Structure 1
Amino acid sequence: MKKKGCLILFLVICVTGMIGCQKELPGKQKVVWNVTCPAGFEMMTAEETFKNYEEKLNVILDEKKVGYEVEIEPIAAETGKNEVDILKEKKSQGKQADVITILGGLINTEAPEQNVELYKECAENQILSSLDELLESDAGEELKKVIPKEDLENARINGKTYGISAVFPMIDATVYSKDTLQEIGIDPKKLSADIFENEQMFREVKEKTGFAPYQVRGTSIYTKGKYWINSSCPVLGYREDTGFINLLDTKEYREYMRKMWQWKQEGLLKILGFETTNNEKCIVTDEYAMENYRMERYEVKAENNGKEETLYVVPNIEQDNVDPYWGDNKSGIASWSKNRQYAEDFLVRLFTDEEIANLIQFGERGTDYSLDEEGKAIVKQQSNIITRYFGYQYTNPMITYSTPTMSEDKLAYAKEYHEKYEGNLPRGFRMDVRPIAEEVKKVNQIYDAVITSEEEKNQTLEWKLYTLNVENTDQAIDEIVSKVDDAGMGKIVEETNRQLKEWQEKNGQ
């Protein structure tokens, strides 16, 4: 189950008003910003947090003399009602709403029938109005300068754009302990981006030191193939040359599993938590896992067990899976807004003003984050959880400060990423899981991408394969593929490809 953050939403709100067109607007008006909250976020806490940022936002708006102030109204799902239902009620009751920020909502792999594509539902239920006219205006040209065209294409629903967002795409990376590499005499510059091409070096490390150089929590179906992974059914993936397929039955997955199993047998790899002890030495481990947004190699400082360590990050530039929507959060204009001019001004500022975007993504400088000697943002651990984990979803991360793990030129990085990895994705296509919810639920019960059941650990074949505790990976995969096929994987693949074909015909693709 994945949760998409909403905490940052409050941040976005407070800052949004500062950005946008530079012209002053006549009069002093009120813009109501409805923001949806993530699942599990208490409304009382949300309202208190939003109120705090609302005050700061309005101070900024007043300094910019925009002619309006912002009132933030958080929205959270209730028993028997999702966010779309609540927004429908607001519309039918004529309650003021001007700008709306929609989060991706809850992705429940255990109960996929509960999953709702909030942005798509808001567009198709006339909650959000079209932004096409705005995007063709001078203000729209400013937006297009700082939002990748691929993200604007992804936002189209039935040929129209109802919301905007910018996705700062992440690249898989292998993170090595530079300190340990130097200790045993390995030049990090000689490491290959493909970890399996470092096999000879790993063997030398094993012979020289006796320890397994590689530590992992478990295997992954996300490691090879450049597939677009479906969030509701994580073993369902798309690639242009294959369409939607079962990832468990791909050549890439089988080859990866054979190699990982071989390394485990030869002592080059150990499973964290099962075969390792605390602080057991290695040169690369999942414990170093971090979000990487750079294609070039680099070093970064990190704290490990109370002491600072230098890590050497090698982006895995030749094999990356994609998530083009990344939660599908969107900001748009309420279809019943009577303040269209002010709402558009506020929306544009949210995505084009660096000062506001930095506040939304990182919080207050000095309190929530600082800048290092290179001008990189260092987020403080005691900062608000919203800014720390979710801030980027409510603004434009393309124009904010970079952190040490981010490319300096974010727009150039995103452009290269889209060209290198995403190819000709069916941009704008969103699977409707409802016709196959029962089959998806059964398949996910057999093999979810992240196996978390404590009761089943070391008992099920799926968990044994995940931790490489099997005699033959191909035989284990065959058994699991047979089980998911019996659960309805074939119907899932068939229905998703049918939906894709129908969407392509409707949209002329």
Structure 2
Amino acid sequence: MGGLKMKMKKILALAACAILSTSIFAGCSGSSSQSKNNEPVKLKWYTIGSEPKDIKLVEAEANKYLLKKMNATIDMQFIDYGDYTQKLGVTINSGENFDLAFTCSWAGDYSGNAVKGGFLELNDYLKTTGKGMNDAIDKRFWDGATINGKIYGVPNQKEISTAPMWVFTKEYIDKYKIPYEKLHTLQDLEPWLKIIKEKEPDVVPLYITKGFSGPQYFDQLVDPVGVEYGDSSLTIKNMFETDKMKSDLETLRKYYKLGYINADSATAQDDKAVKRFTTKGDGQPFAEKLWSKDLNYEVVATPIMDSYITNGSTTGSMIAVSSNSKNKEKSVEFLNLLNTDKYLRNLINYGIEGTHYTKMGEGQIKIIEANRKKYEIGYYTVGNLFITDVLSNEPKDKWDIFRKFNDAAKSSPALGFKFDRSGVSNEIAAVNNVLEEFKATLYSGSVDIDEYLPKLNSKLKEQGIDKIIKEMQKQIDEWKKTK
């Protein structure tokens, strides 16, 4: 009889667990592991970039606060930009128990890892534990994060659109009275590159590094397949078969032959010591101030084209919870705090007041120069930027200006369309291998376009790009009917 009672207790306990669970991933095993003996939960957080020297100092300060607020601590693990996607993929595939990870459209493979079950589905959590951040973050970011009706990552609220810019060294703009605000296309630069080449022999007129992608007028839904901006017909194309891309590549080739581009453009990493007249950057309001701080000299910038909201830009920076985490509820609780709590967000962003920065009054801070290099982190990678204090050389209404910038951006005609890659995943992998082989060289200007571009497109066809285009066209035509 006692044995029967014990069995009934177990059955009732399991039933209660099933009822209380808000998600298939939010089961009792996760909850019990984090509340056992009321011990603090340690959240392991993978993020992108180089580890700051003072990270342990800042973590210790954050953890004092987190222990009081939610009985938890964080352990941030940094992975360099170039290694991040591959290393996170290995971590997820190995089944490692971690809690949080940076992910996005360009690193950490948000859609791929979400679809294959690496990230926790958050929809139910956003109604409860995560309601604060759900309300605080622009709905368009959440829309961008949605895959087949489900959300697998918390967007780091920032600029919502892609805004490619030419970044100019102000010294030469002033010296030669260059009307930089009128320069937009790659072709607009030509007369000024010529002047710099002739009059400033120690300066690279157009500085290109391995990550350069050239001006783009195209929403890549899967690199290099997608829709041209402004194309309401939603015709799916290979970007490298468009007239605009060919024209820009030919211009880059011309500039390279004229000596306007650095000779090592296909392989160069960004060497900040290289004197340059202009380079390309992906910007937002006040980007010039951040670039100037980074380079230690003043730069100015002008937009290459209108800014567009794309599926890629709305998922340009996110933090996901691992579906393998033993601390799912606490992980969401921490993300909610990170996106709504000004003190915590400033601490992770800027470091410790009095050590890394000083207060300039309400909502504004000044970095302490002597310790600047001890705590540098990608501000946009660690939560809601719109609740951080602004820097001393920025206007106090900076985030209001960002909101206006976001509201003024145009939408890609394909915004909201989510491509189901499952039927062409092998072809996508094969195409990516071809792009790895060709892209940096092609964008460098160092090869003959008439020879190299057809060779690239031929290899893309061999690896199944037409199958990707056909499948995407079929899906987007169906999606268009629902708009």
TM-score between the two structures when normalised by the length of structure 1: 0.64
1:358 to 1:503, Cα distance in 2 relative to 1, 3 A: farther
Match of 1:82 among 89, 92, 101: 92
Match of 2:165 among 168, 173, 182: 173
Contact kept in structure 1, 2:227 and 2:236, CA below 8 Å:
yes
Hey, what does 1:245 align to over in structure 2?
237
Instruction: Read off the aligned partner of 2:128 and give its amino acid letter.
Output: L
For the pair 1:326 / 2:316, whether they are aligned, the reply is yes
Match of 1:37 among 46, 71, 90: 46
Match of 1:159 among 136, 149, 162: 149
Hey, what does 1:9 align to over in structure 2?
none
Match of 2:457 among 472, 481, 486: 481
Q: Take 1:131 and 1:227, find their aligned partners in 2: how far apart are those partners?
A: 31
Hey, what does 2:433 align to over in structure 1?
445
Instruction: Read off the aligned partner of 2:172 and give its amino acid letter.
Output: T
Hey, what does 1:133 align to over in structure 2?
127
Would you tell me which structure has more helix in proportion to its own residues?
A: 2
Match of 1:69 among 68, 71, 76: 71
Hey, what does 1:147 align to over in structure 2?
137
Report how far residue 61 of structure 1 moved.
4.8
Q: Which moved more, 1:366-375 or 1:475-484?
A: 366-375
1:490 to 1:57, Cα distance in 2 relative to 1, 3 A: same
2:345 is paired with a residue whose SS is helix
Q: Take 1:31 and 1:324, find their aligned partners in 2: how far apart are those partners?
A: 34
1:271 is paired with a residue whose SS is coil
Report how far residue 488 of structure 1 moved.
1.2
1:377 to 1:347, Cα distance in 2 relative to 1, 3 A: same
Instruction: Read off the aligned partner of 2:164 and give its amino acid letter.
Output: D
For the pair 1:104 / 2:103, whether they are aligned, the reply is yes
1:224 is paired with a residue whose SS is coil
Hey, what does 1:13 align to over in structure 2?
none
Alignment of 1:224-303 (within 5 A): 224-228=216-220, 230=222, 234-239=223-228, 241=231, 242=234, 244-272=236-264, 282-284=276-278, 286=279, 292-294=283-285, 301-302=292-293
Contact kept in structure 2, 1:173 and 1:316, CA below 8 Å:
yes
Match of 1:492 among 455, 465, 468: 468
Contact kept in structure 2, 1:147 and 1:398, CA below 8 Å:
no
Structure 1 spans left out of the alignment, 5+ residues: 1-27, 91-99, 452-460
Deviation string 1:137-191 (CA, Å, 9 cap, x unpaired) is: xx84x545631111111233432445432342353222222223333x3245555
Alignment of 1:3-22 (within 5 A): none
1:126 to 1:174, Cα distance in 2 relative to 1, 3 A: closer
Match of 1:118 among 113, 127, 151: 113
Report how far residue 383 of structure 1 moved.
2.7
Hey, what does 2:341 align to over in structure 1?
353
Hey, what does 1:422 align to over in structure 2?
411
Contact kept in structure 1, 2:226 and 2:237, CA below 8 Å:
yes
Structure 2 spans left out of the alignment, 5+ residues: 1-36, 79-86
Deviation string 1:42-76 (CA, Å, 9 cap, x unpaired) is: 9xx9xx978x766533532576xx5x411447899
Contact kept in structure 1, 2:66 and 2:73, CA below 8 Å:
no
Q: CA RMSD in A?
A: 5.1
Q: Take 2:50 and 2:170, find their aligned partners in 1: how far apart are those partners?
A: 39
Identity of aligned residues (%): 16
Match of 2:374 among 383, 391, 403: 383
1:326 is paired with a residue whose SS is coil
Q: Which moved more, 1:408-417 or 1:271-280?
A: 271-280
Q: Take 2:246 and 2:393, find their aligned partners in 1: how far apart are those partners?
A: 31
Report how far residue 498 of structure 1 moved.
4.4
Report how far residue 481 of structure 1 moved.
0.7
Instruction: Read off the aligned partner of 1:360 and give its amino acid letter.
Output: I
Alignment of 1:376-415 (within 5 A): 378=367, 382-384=373-375, 388-389=377-378, 392-402=380-390, 409-410=398-399, 412-414=401-403
Q: Take 2:55 and 2:288, find their aligned partners in 1: how far apart are those partners?
A: 38
Q: Which moved more, 1:475-484 or 1:391-400?
A: 391-400
Contact kept in structure 1, 2:145 and 2:314, CA below 8 Å:
no
Q: Take 1:245 and 1:405, find their aligned partners in 2: how far apart are those partners?
A: 43
Q: Take 1:208 and 1:497, find their aligned partners in 2: how far apart are those partners?
A: 50
Contact kept in structure 2, 1:175 and 1:311, CA below 8 Å:
yes
Q: Take 1:244 and 1:30, find their aligned partners in 2: how far apart are those partners?
A: 54
Contact kept in structure 1, 2:120 and 2:321, CA below 8 Å:
no
Deviation string 1:256-289 (CA, Å, 9 cap, x unpaired) is: 11222233344444434699999786522x4xx6
Alignment of 1:191-230 (within 5 A): 191-206=182-197, 213-217=205-209, 220-228=212-220, 230=222
1:61 to 1:469, Cα distance in 2 relative to 1, 3 A: closer
Deviation string 1:283-335 (CA, Å, 9 cap, x unpaired) is: 22x4xx6663227876964576xxx5322233434366853212543359999
Contact kept in structure 2, 1:357 and 1:400, CA below 8 Å:
yes
1:84 to 1:126, Cα distance in 2 relative to 1, 3 A: farther
Q: Take 1:280 and 1:102, find their aligned partners in 2: how far apart are those partners?
A: 34
Contact kept in structure 2, 1:446 and 1:483, CA below 8 Å:
yes
1:283 is paired with a residue whose SS is strand
Hey, what does 1:22 align to over in structure 2?
none
Hey, what does 1:16 align to over in structure 2?
none
Deviation string 1:317-362 (CA, Å, 9 cap, x unpaired) is: 4366853212543359999979x6x877654322112111111223
Q: Take 2:89 and 2:265, find their aligned partners in 1: how far apart are those partners?
A: 38
1:382 is paired with a residue whose SS is helix
Report how far residue 482 of structure 1 moved.
1.4
1:369 to 1:131, Cα distance in 2 relative to 1, 3 A: same
Contact kept in structure 2, 1:295 and 1:317, CA below 8 Å:
no
Report how far residue 237 of structure 1 moved.
3.6
1:344 to 1:337, Cα distance in 2 relative to 1, 3 A: same
1:495 to 1:75, Cα distance in 2 relative to 1, 3 A: farther
